[in-house]
Amino acid sequence: MVVLRRPPISSEATTEALRVAVGQSLAPQRVTLCLMGDGVWAAGPLHPSVVRAPEVKKHLEAMLALGHRVVVEEEAVRARGIQHVAPGVEVTPRAECFTLLTEADAVIPY
Task: Give the pLDDT confidence of 61-89 residue by residue, as tens digits.
Answer: 999 999 999 999 999 999 999 999 999 99
Classify residue 73 as exposed, middle or buried by CB count within 10 Å of its CB (0-12, 13-18, 19+).
buried
Q: Which domains does the chain have, with CATH numbers?
A: 2-109 (3.40.1260.10)
Q: Dihedral sign for Cα 65, 69, 18, 55, please.
A: positive
Question: What's the pLDDT score for residue 84?
Answer: 93
Residue 31 has pLDDT above 90, yes or no: yes
